[in-house]
Structure 1
Amino acid sequence: MEPIPQERFGYLVDDALDLIPEELAARFENVAVVVEDEHPEEPELLGLYEGVPMTERDSYGGVLPDRIAIYRLPLCDLVDDEDELVEEIRITVIHELAHHVGIDDEELHQLGWG
C-alpha cells in the first residue's frame, strides 16, 4: 500500500502499545518506542530493538532508555490495506518488546511470533 503519513502511523503504533495487556506492559522498563521511515542500512527491517534485555541487566542505573524503532515504509510496503497494516504493526511491536524482556528470535519463533 502507499505509505501513510508519519503522524497517522504514529497513532497506529500508539494504539498497538495500548492493546498490550497491563500485566505485560508493567514488565517494560526504561524503553522508548519511536517511529522512523526506515533503517538506514537495512531498509527491509520492520522494527529494531536496541538496548540491554532485562534478563541481562544487573546494575543498570543512569543509562539512556532502550530503544525500539518501528519502521513505517517497509511496513506499509508489506501490506495491501490499513487493516493489514494495523496487524503488522501490532506483531512488530510485540516482537520488539519481547526482545526487551529477553525473548530471542528462536523462542519467538517457537511461540509463533517469529
Structure 2
Amino acid sequence: MAGEPQADCLFCKIVSGDVPATIVRESETTVAFRDINPQAPTHILVIPKAHYPDAASLAAAEPTIAADILREAGEVATEEKIEGTGFRIVFNTGTGAGQTVFHAHAHVLGGRGLQWPPG
C-alpha cells in the first residue's frame, strides 16, 4: 500500500534505522542524510518517511509532505551554508532520469558552480 514501509526499500530501511546513514536533519515527516556518492561538495537527500515510489506519486497523494520536502531542502541549504551561493533541488523520476532508489527523494546539491542544463 502506498505510504507504507517496503521491506526491500533502502530508504525505508534508513527511516527505520535498519541501515545506517549520516542524518543531518529530521522532521515529523522527513529525513535528510548525506549521499554516499556525492556529486557536489554538498549532496544531501531529503526523503519522506512514508514510502512513495517517486515525487509525482508523493505529490498526488500527500501534497503537504511534498511541501515538507521542499521546506526541509531549504533548511538543509541554510545549515550547509550554500543558500547564499546557490543550490539545486533535483527529483529524478524513472530509470531514464537516473532514479535508482524508488522511494521519492530530493537531491540538494551545492558548494560549487552547477552548470545548466545539467546533463
Larger Rg: 1
Shared fold per TM-score greater than 0.5: no
**Looking at both structures, which has the greater relative contact order when contacts are Cα pairs under 8 Å and sequence separation is at least 6?**
1
TM score, norm. by length of structure 2: 0.31
Please identify which structure carries the higher strand content: 2
Please identify which structure carries the higher helix content: 1
